[in-house]
DNA sequence: TCGTTTTTTGCAACCGGTTGCAATAACTCT
DNA sequence: AGAGTTATTGCAACCGGTTGCAAAAAACGA
């Protein structure tokens, strides 16, 4: 069927080892045989079978990319960055869609069956358990956008969500908002919990500030809209820190549908700074999460673990910054 | 390092073949040995290595998923559907990001190195050449969202873009718009060309209709916005058929920024019916592309090709329908 | 030129599985 | 119980590569 090492060896008149060696970096082959082999390989259109070689080398160059939110456009950007970053380093992403799945065991089993070299869990909602399951199975794993822990059990790359919560509260208070609220993503998500904690910490420390909170069912437009619609029926706050941009956009839509204006009637601040936040009809003030850096760093870390499997776990944090746009009233 | 067939065989006191057989569907093993093997396997935490077995079976259950647009949220929905559909059938998507890449050779080589069982090219912008390159390399391939051809050289699953163009033109004319225009996606994309052709065919057949056209640089918000901004500086049409939803949303944003209203001042119709089109602040009238059906059918077709590699190429078309929302004036 | 050192090469075993085949075991049936 | 079937099993070769090792070839030094 397809061309194998043996075919090339025969045509080139050398041993199979010689052919193998010309295709492996840093192996000992003379220029003469290399040329013979390359000529034969070209003639036959030969390319080494990566999977067969993985059997002996123990490396597949396959990286499991595990995600659970396919309804948040931010993750499209994340996939773009991950796939390109991996490809640039000669690695291949094996995509796993976890939507609805709660038990890590299946994914662990599946990714082990495919002998992935490592796994990147790209999610801000999965519990740390998930990444740990891979570690326990001795699969190098990095949790991107995961929860920061002061004593991480697994490599984590992301942001300090607690600090983001504080930052959001400070920003709202600085703008003169007094009745402020947290409109979080799913309550079960670690990122929601942390952002909530930080937000409350700053907000409740200020004696004149009145703070309230609620949660959207998921990090999605619909959930944000539903929750804000509910809030508008009673006595809404002056400004909301939303779970993330897509929740904020849903909230924005609800506010506008109710005949109110952002930021004149209600202020909004999101988190992520996804592309859409810049769209002129959305124009969302938001906390930028430096996705390119997080992703680069995650890839770097997972490749480092290939060399050094027992590598001591670490948490890598990147700073966030406020992106001023039009959904909050200006600093007076 | 990891548990192999041999370890299980030894513990269970049977031959390696026996172990292999208990893990392969429909092989001949007695209940007694099966139980012994399963017990040993459980004890050791053994799971067969999918890649090693692919060597002899010739099947990896890996499917290359090739995409080139990571800036259009519609494709996040597409990825969701593809990954789930493949997973449900025991297949694994190997994601390839083609952004910027024009030469198929690289992807073909890479995916062949990984012995993917088949490839799905999910793009409405790539030329048919691309899919053909896989076919020429004897890799089963399906082009999803690709150009329909009356004599397809490669399996294509999608919609009739020419008919969509006609449908859009008819819709606009029926609403009483007289100065209508096509605001396409990238001119080089087959889908743009076809939608354009159909649109012009109907529009220019009507003596009272005045038609014009232009193209956005890519299927993206920014490109749509830029192009519409340009159009607004001269004498805009009464209604536009936009390249796709994301281009339409960009156009909508430009229109609103110019202080005009949709649909009162300018009407818009998109194509795809992505989730965002339903968002209340967007509320886009659009032509629904039945993505779930296209994707299901694509997966079905690619798996059928595994059984029957020489399968005669076919084009599968799914009907589209207008989703009435608020970006066109109502039928009078 | 010849002995020594360094490079290059092929052999053969191995990676973790699968499978055709012949031998063995377990059933039927009379 | 014994002949004839059918089901199960293990052997050994193979899938497409890699790699340690020893032999062969080439390069080096004097």
- Distance CA(B329)–CA(A204), nearest Å, equals 49
DSSP state of A182: E
pLDDT at B137 over 70: yes
DSSP state of A329: P
pLDDT (0 to 100) of residue B251: 97
List the single residue in B48, B76, B112 with the smallest CB-CB distance to A70. Answer: B76
Closest CA to A65 of A161, A148, A134, A152: A134
Extract the runs of DSSP E, i.e. beta strands, from chain A: 62-67, 92-97, 118-122, 141-144, 155-158, 179-184, 210-215, 239-242, 267-272, 286-288, 315-317, 321-323
Closest CA to A18 of A4, A29, A6, A31: A29
Sign of CA dihedral B121, B125, B128, B132: negative
3-state secondary structure of B1: coil
3-state secondary structure of A141: strand
pLDDT (average), residues A27-37: 91
Cα distances from B218 to residues B212, B225, B243, in angstroms, run 19, 11, 9
* Each residue's pLDDT tens digit, A113-130: 999 999 999 999 998 899
* Each residue's pLDDT tens digit, A140-187: 999 999 998 878 899 999 999 999 999 999 999 999 999 999 999 999
Question: How many Å apart are B39 CA and C28 C1'?
Answer: 32
pLDDT > 70 in chain A, percent: 100
List the single residue in B76, B84, B114 with the smallest CB-CB distance to A75. Answer: B76
For strand D, is any atom closer than 7 Å to the CB of A50? Answer: no
pLDDT at B197 over 90: yes
pLDDT (average), residues A50-73: 95
Q: Among A97-106, A118-127, A317-326, B193-202, which is the least confidently predicted range? A: A97-106
The enclosing H or E element of B77 equals helix B74-88
Q: pLDDT band at residue A280, thresholds of 50, 70 and 90?
A: confident
Which pTM does this prediction carry? Answer: 0.94
Q: Among B149-163, B182-196, B288-302, which is the least confidently predicted range? A: B149-163
pLDDT (0 to 100) of residue A1: 65
Mean pLDDT, all residues of chain B: 94
Cross-chain Cβ contact A55/B60 below 8 Å: no
pLDDT at B25 over 90: no
- Distance CA(A297)–CA(A313), nearest Å, equals 14
Q: Among A23-32, A179-188, A237-246, which is the least confidently predicted range? A: A23-32
Strand C: list positions under 7 Å from protein Cβ.
Answer: 7-12, 14-20
- Distance CA(B140)–CA(B46), nearest Å, equals 32
Question: How many Å apart are B26 CA and D2 C1'?
Answer: 33
Only one residue has tokens 């490839």, namely B119
With b for 16 or more beta-carbon neighbours within 10 A and e for fewer, the A221-254 pattern comes to bbbbbbbbbebbeeebbbbbbbbbbbbbbbbbbb
Within 8 A of A256 by CB-CB distance, chain B residues are 280-281
Classify residue B98 as left (phi > 0), alpha (psi -120 to 50) or beta. Answer: alpha
Backbone angles phi, psi at B182, to 5 degrees: -105, 120
pLDDT (0 to 100) of residue B1: 65
């Amino acid at each position: 069927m397809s061309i194998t090492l043996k075919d090339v060896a025969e045509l080139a008149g050398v041993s199979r080892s010689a052919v193998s060696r010309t295709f492996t970096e840093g192996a000992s082959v003379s220029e003469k045989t290399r040329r013979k082999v390359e000529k034969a390989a070209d003639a036959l259109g030969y390319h080494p079978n990566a999977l067969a070689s993985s059997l002996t080398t123990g490396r597949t160059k396959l990286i499991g990319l595990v995600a659970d939110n396919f309804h948040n456009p931010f993750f499209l950007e994340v996939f773009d960055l991950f796939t390109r970053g991996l490809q640039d380093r000669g690695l291949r992403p094996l995509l796993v869609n976890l939507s609805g799945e709660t038990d890590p065991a299946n994914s662990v089993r599946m990714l082990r069956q495919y002998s992935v070299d490592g796994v990147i869990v790209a999610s801000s909602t999965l519990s740390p358990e998930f990444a740990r399951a891979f570690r326990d199975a001795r699969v190098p794993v990095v949790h991107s956008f995961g929860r920061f822990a002061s004593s991480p059990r697994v490599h984590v790359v992301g942001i300090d969500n607690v600090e983001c919560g504080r930052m959001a509260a400070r920003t709202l208070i600085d703008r003169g908002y007094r009745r402020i609220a947290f409109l979080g993503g799913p309550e079960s998500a670690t990122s929601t919990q942390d952002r909530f904690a930080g937000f409350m910490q700053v907000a409740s420390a200020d004696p004149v500030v009145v703070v309230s909170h609620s949660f959207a069912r998921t990090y999605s437009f619909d959930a944000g809209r539903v929750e804000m619609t509910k809030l508008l029926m009673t006595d809404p706050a002056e400004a909301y820190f939303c779970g993330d941009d897509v929740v904020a956009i849903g909230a924005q839509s609800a506010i506008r549908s109710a005949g109110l204006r952002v930021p004149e009637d209600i202020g909004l601040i999101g988190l992520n700074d996804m592309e859409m936040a810049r769209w002129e009809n959305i124009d969302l003030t938001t906390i930028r999460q430096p996705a390119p850096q997080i992703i680069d760093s995650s890839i770097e870390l997972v490749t480092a673990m290939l060399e050094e499997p027992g590598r001591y776990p670490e948490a890598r944090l990147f700073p966030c910054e406020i992106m001023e746009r039009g959904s909050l009233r200006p600093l007076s």
